[in-house]
Amino acid sequence: MQTKADLFGEDAPPRVKIAVADIDGVLRAKYVSKEKFASAREDGFGFCNVIFGWDSQDMLYGGAAADPGFADAHATVAEETGRRLPWEGGTPLFLADFRDDAGIAGTACPRALLRRVVERAASLGFIARFGPEYEWFAYRETPGSLAEKDYRHPTPLSPGMFGYSALRTGQRADLMRDLFEQLAAFDVDLEGLHTETGPGVLEAAISHREALEAADQAVLFKQAVKEISYGHGLVSSFMAKPSADLPGCGGHLHQSLWRDGENAFHDADGRHGMSQVFESYLAGQLRLLPVLMPLFAPTVNSYKRYVAGSWAATRANWGVDNRTVALRVIPGSADATRLETRVPGADANPYLAIAAALAAGLHGIAEGWTLDAAPVTGSSYAQEIGVSLPHHLGAAAGALGGSAVAAELFGSGFRDHFVATRQWEWEQYLGAVTDWEARRYFELA
């Protein structure tokens, strides 16, 4: 992490950017002067709580905002997140969040929610580490050209289905270089970067960190990829399923729990090298996954990714090194044994997805749940093993809203607010007239 001297040296611009992640994981930011920031880091600052009262299109949620006056909420600078923006002349950037007493902002803030879950892990003696992976589509477009096309038929960065391509990465070595180097300069470290199957699809693995820092890195990674792409005349999209004919974009979470400097998931004598802690953690996610889906799949589009043969799970199940299941156990050394939660899409809010995975796993440990379900071997799509996951956002939001366990894990205030925002999203979709409907019914109805 860059030091304070690095951030505010003589070469630093006379402004600071402060950003807060909203309920969808979108960064809402503003610039302040160095002088204003000096007081903000000491005493906090005001940030309009409307960011938790409107959707991704800045439309007010119907009934979901507890403060109709949209007052300023007291925000706190997260000092540990400070870094420079290489593509903005070295402008310092800090993330911020809201404490529990900040009204609706304190209740709804995703970063604050994850912080509370991390504290619960600490109370059980654990440090959680996460390493997110993301897939995304890159297009030879600008925001303006996409709007002119009405977001139809965008031109991909490269043609064809070409996963792990040495040719395509070599063809755009300038983009690959900037992604690696500028992300590193931005204090976001990649473990790997390659093409995935699909036209213009890329995938990156972010180095594992403690849970809150991992989520910060994931949020900043997505923002950085989009901004670096702009510099190359491209638009990058983390939409879960941009085309019905192509694979979707995952946002997988590798994770482990650590205690006294050792991986609490590893037991060389355990089943598949899993400790009892790991089994209970896995059992927690397995049992709660169907009711926590909106935290992993928050949009209408998210659910179009969960189809057989798509590398995305359709049921709550697990397996050993099996990429067709929801929960992939990865046996290994004392350092490498881990769980990969493969359900989240790239569109998920990293704070909420990590909070959901960690809270469910910790609940399994606290309740002493046993892993009774057998692992899936072979393709899970050919076997009806595990509870079916919700098929659309409306059903998923209803399940979450009726879950007493979710209220226990996240607080009824957060659960109710978040469910209301997802129900709003679903209702906007139900009220839309799509191209599919026009083609199907316009002349013949």
pLDDT per position as a tens digit, 15-46: 999 999 999 999 999 999 999 999 999 999 99
pLDDT on residue 32: 97
Residue 326 lies inside a defined structural domain of this protein: yes
Residue 246 lies inside a defined structural domain of this protein: yes
Inter-residue contact 161 to 194 (CB < 8 Å): no
Please name the residue that has the structure tokens 């995952």: 250
Q: What is the 3-state secondary structure (H, E, C) of 377-403?
A: CCCHHHCCCCEECCCCHHHHHHHHHCC
Q: Point out the domain boundary residue: 47, 79, 108.
A: 108
Task: Give CA–CA dist 217/194, Å, rounded.
Answer: 19
Whether 246 and 316 share a structural domain? yes
Q: Point out the domain boundary residue: 46, 81, 108.
A: 108
Pairing of strands 201-206, 127-139: antiparallel
Residues in the chain with pLDDT values less than 70: 1-5, 63-66
Whether 74 and 201 share a structural domain? no
Q: Point out the domain boundary residue: 79, 108, 137.
A: 108
Residue 437 lies inside a defined structural domain of this protein: no
- CA Rg value for the chain: 22
Task: Give CA–CA dist 194/189, Å, rounded.
Answer: 15
Q: Residue 385 CB: number of other CB atoms within 10 A?
A: 17
Which domain, by its residues, includes 365?
A: 121-430
Q: Residue 34 CB: number of other CB atoms within 10 A?
A: 13
Question: Amino acid identity, residue 373?
Answer: A
Whether 99 and 228 share a structural domain? no
Whether 146 and 185 share a structural domain? yes
Residue 93 sits at φ, ψ, to 5 deg, of: -130, 135
Q: Where are the beta strands (DSSP E) in 215-346?
A: 235-237, 253-259, 262-263, 315-316, 318-320, 327-330, 338-341
For 300-323, b/e burial (b = at least 16 CB within 10 A) is bbbbbbbeeebbbbbbbbbbbebe
Question: pLDDT for 364-418, tens place per residue?
Answer: 999 999 999 999 999 999 999 999 999 999 999 999 999 999 999 999 999 999 9
Whether 353 and 390 share a structural domain? yes
Residue 443 lies inside a defined structural domain of this protein: no
Pairing of strands 253-259, 338-341: antiparallel
Task: Give CA–CA dist 401/418, Å, rounded.
Answer: 9
pTM for this model (two decimals): 0.97
pLDDT on residue 64: 60
Whether 417 and 362 share a structural domain? yes
284: CATH: 3.30.590.10
Residue 79 lies inside a defined structural domain of this protein: yes
Residue 423 lies inside a defined structural domain of this protein: yes
Nearest in space to 298 (alpha carbons), one of 255, 339, 251: 251
Query: 402-405 long-range CB contacts below 8 Å, 24 or more apart?
Result: 402/291, 403/291, 403/292, 405/288, 405/291, 405/363
DSSP state of 54: B
Inter-residue contact 105 to 47 (CB < 8 Å): yes
Q: Output the six-digit token pair for 161.
A: 């289905």
Whether 307 and 422 share a structural domain? yes
Total tally of structural domains belonging to the chain? 2
Q: Residue 352, SS3?
A: helix
Whether 100 and 128 share a structural domain? no
Give the largest CA-CA distance in the chain.
69
Residue 296 lies inside a defined structural domain of this protein: yes
Whether 40 and 140 share a structural domain? no
62: CATH: 3.10.20.70
Q: 170: which residues sit within 8 A by CB, 6+ positions away?
A: none
Whether 161 and 103 share a structural domain? no
Residue 187 sits at φ, ψ, to 5 deg, of: 65, 35
Q: Residue 252, SS3?
A: coil
Residue 301 lies inside a defined structural domain of this protein: yes
Question: Amino acid identity, residue 268?
Answer: A
Task: Give CA–CA dist 82/94, Å, rounded.
Answer: 5
Question: Amino acid identity, residue 54?
Answer: W
Q: Which helix or strand (DSSP H or E) is residue 104 part of?
A: helix 104-108
Task: Give CA–CA dist 338/444, Å, rounded.
Answer: 54
Nearest in space to 268 (alpha carbons), one of 258, 278, 260, 259: 278
Whether 269 and 378 share a structural domain? yes
Whether 59 and 197 share a structural domain? no
Nearest in space to 223 (alpha carbons), one of 210, 215, 233, 118: 215
Task: Give CA–CA dist 206/215, Å, rounded.
Answer: 10
